[in-house]
Structure 1
Amino acid sequence: MTTAITGGAGFLGSHIVDHFVKQGDQVVVVDDFSDGKRANLSESESQVEVREVDLRDGETTSDALKDIDIVVHLAAKIGGIGYFHDVPADIIAMNDAMNRSVFDAAVEHDIDRVCYASSSMVYENATEFPVTETQLGEIPPPDSAYGFQKLAGEYYCEAYHDQYDVEYSIFRPFNAVGPREPPGEEVGEAHVIPDFVKKINDERQHPLKILGSGKQIRAFTNVRDIAAGVYECAHSPAAANDGFNLGSSEGVTMLELAEMIWERCGRSEPFEVEKEDAFDHDVKKRVPDSSKAAEILGWEPTVSLGESLDEYIEWYQTAL
């Protein structure tokens, strides 16, 4: 069994690579290294094959996937909420091109399954929490280009299954946290935990600048837990032609999160914040119901937010 992991040199992708290798899969990493880093593969580098490919090109994508049984398709233009606002056209056009190349290759080479990385952003307009998979047919589509494009990728899965009988599974990770995700140059370029750690640990901000009210609620999931869930989505017969939330159901406000990081970075000053204008499409609450993954795949998150923050901050302070 040979599994190709597109975007496998990225933050989430590299942890998925490590998990699949530990489970005994023969793994091929497919990445153009426009964002991913070869250093992220250091744990499994000797046990994987790396194919440097621009997935926007259908011919080279087909060549890269011709001997593959399963594709875990993570490759995408992705970043924090600021990134979504800066390059919405690139997100739509480039991610769509990559999706088409991968699914066309799946048809051409009769690949057993495409395991597609969607996003919690498909639930951008949800009003009932925790969000369940069944809400996707009931809520309005996402307002952001990124959320809309990820939802379009789910339609790719269903359309290629209906027309070409391509087997698929969909996973929707909720706010992955763990080593190998650096902060961006600007606020919002990366995700919130790297941003907060940079502000608190490096810039020594006091008061800490936060976007919006700080009452926004997120549920964070250790990247190793998500990798284990992706493995089940890729391999379990029960996951065929279905989609799953992969996330913790324990929500935390951004103020609570910031204070947890403040304490773990050893700041002695009283915790104080300065509120700045939020970005458009800054979702007020995002908490999943992952009971479907528990019931069908036997998957549940095992690592607490506190443990994940300790792990991330230790990596940040030693690796960056």
Structure 2
Amino acid sequence: MATVLVTGSAGFIGGYVVQDLLGRGYDVVGLDNLSKYGPVARSYDEHPNYRFVEGDARDTDLLSELLADCDHFIAGAAMIGGISYFHTYAYDLLATNERIIASSCDAAIRVFRAGGRLRKVTYLSSSMVFESTDRWPSVEGDERRVAPPLSSYGFQKLAVEYFARAAWDQYALPYTIARPFNCVGVGEGRALGEVEVLSGNVKLAMSHVVPDLVQKVLKDQDPLHILGDGSQVRHYTYGGDLAAGIVTAMEHPDALNEDFNLSTAESTTVLELAELIWKKIKGQDEEFRYVSDDPFQYDVAKRVPNVDKAQRVLGFTADTPLETMLDEVIPWIEQAVTDGRI
């Protein structure tokens, strides 16, 4: 079976991707510098087809060495987090992630041109490339037609896609771009860092909206603090579904030099999400109470994807219901809160 290098393998989406690859019989090499969460235990750590390397994706020589024996490269390493995270670290996100993507492409080009086994790079982008859109749903290609993102994170993720296409244009390095929307799942912890972000009386995990809302309800925040008026529209997509879409895009012959929105087709407002979490934890009879905090500057009002291309080309559908995701996530967050990890 083929061998896949996954950078950012200890990250949130990376963990799901490694699990999916191993389930399909691939040999997997994971690379991560453990800078966000520190050491993370995974169920597959001792899997015979998995090898973890602690290292930095900005190290081009290390990446080249690892890629020399790989057939595929899933370039997922990045500083990444929820809205509070990419406001707090606006410059670091841009500078670090640019160095990571440049190093990733340099190593892949080096190995590919040397006649190695590498067939293709699958790049992980983000729905934030559509941050400034004024048209919905966002279709593949809109990221090059609408205004560029205003946040440094969204702008850098758009740059990832330009790196992918430029490496093909100049060096014929094959690519696929996978564009996840609002991942929900287990595996997130409190991000390492010196900055604390408060929402009411609760310190945010600086990750994503679902774990932050869950922990606030579990810690009996009443009324519940939400950012803005709660009308923001998102497409919350299960991590296992996203991983399946990413790996399918990696291996599908018709995905060559294509980009795909990977997402559930279901829209949910932040207020609907908050009430659903409240009711699941507190019960249906407990009145839902909330207050609105000032939103962050780049809290996008609407992120709605068109998912037709992924369905048509890849046969991929993200169909795990939000309630099912929460039934998995809430107990995990509850244990993490008990253990002091969030």
CA distance in 2, matches of 1:219, 1:188: 21
CA distance in 2, matches of 1:235, 1:284: 34
Secondary structure of the equivalent of 1:46? coil
Residue number in structure 2 paired with 1:300: 317
Secondary structure of the equivalent of 2:136? coil
Residue number in structure 1 paired with 2:155: 148
Task: Note closer, same or farther for the CA distance 1:168–1:54 as it changes in structure 2 (3 Å cut).
Answer: same
Residue number in structure 1 paired with 2:9: 8
Correspondence 1:199-278 to 2 at 5 A: 199-201=216-218, 203-266=219-282, 269-278=286-295
CA distance in 1, matches of 2:299, 2:46: 37
Residue number in structure 1 paired with 2:40: 39
From 299, 304, 310, the counterpart of 2:327: 310
8 Å contact from structure 2 (residues 133, 146) kept in 1: yes
Query: Percent identity between the aligned chains?
Result: 41
From 81, 84, 90, the counterpart of 1:82: 84
Shift of 1:40: 4.2
Number of matched pairs: 319
Residue number in structure 2 paired with 1:280: 297
Residue number in structure 1 paired with 2:56: 54
CA distance in 2, matches of 1:86, 1:315: 26
CA distance in 1, matches of 2:99, 2:321: 37
CA displacement, residues 261-311 of structure 1 (integer Å, 9 cap, x when unaligned): 001112564111111100001100111111100000000012111111111
CA distance in 2, matches of 1:195, 1:265: 14
8 Å contact from structure 1 (residues 178, 308) kept in 2: yes
CA distance in 2, matches of 1:292, 1:79: 27
From 198, 201, 212, the counterpart of 1:195: 212
Secondary structure of the equivalent of 2:300? coil
Secondary structure of the equivalent of 1:194? helix
CA distance in 2, matches of 1:318, 1:136: 39
CA distance in 2, matches of 1:120, 1:17: 21
CA distance in 1, matches of 2:38, 2:229: 34
8 Å contact from structure 1 (residues 12, 223) kept in 2: yes
Deviates more, 1:129-138 or 1:303-312: 129-138
Unaligned runs of 5+ in 2: 113-117, 198-203, 338-342
Shift of 1:38: 4.7
Secondary structure of the equivalent of 2:47? helix
Q: Within the alignment, does 1:164 sit opposite 2:166 as a pair?
A: no
8 Å contact from structure 2 (residues 279, 286) kept in 1: no
CA distance in 1, matches of 2:16, 2:187: 9
Deviates more, 1:213-222 or 1:263-272: 263-272
Correspondence 1:130-145 to 2 at 5 A: 130-145=137-152
CA displacement, residues 20-65 of structure 1 (integer Å, 9 cap, x when unaligned): 0000001000111112555342235323001111111222222232
Please give the TM-score of this superposition, normalised by the length of structure 2.
Answer: 0.90
RMSD: 1.5
Residue 163 of structure 1 aligns with an amino acid whose one-letter code is Q
Residue number in structure 2 paired with 1:179: 186
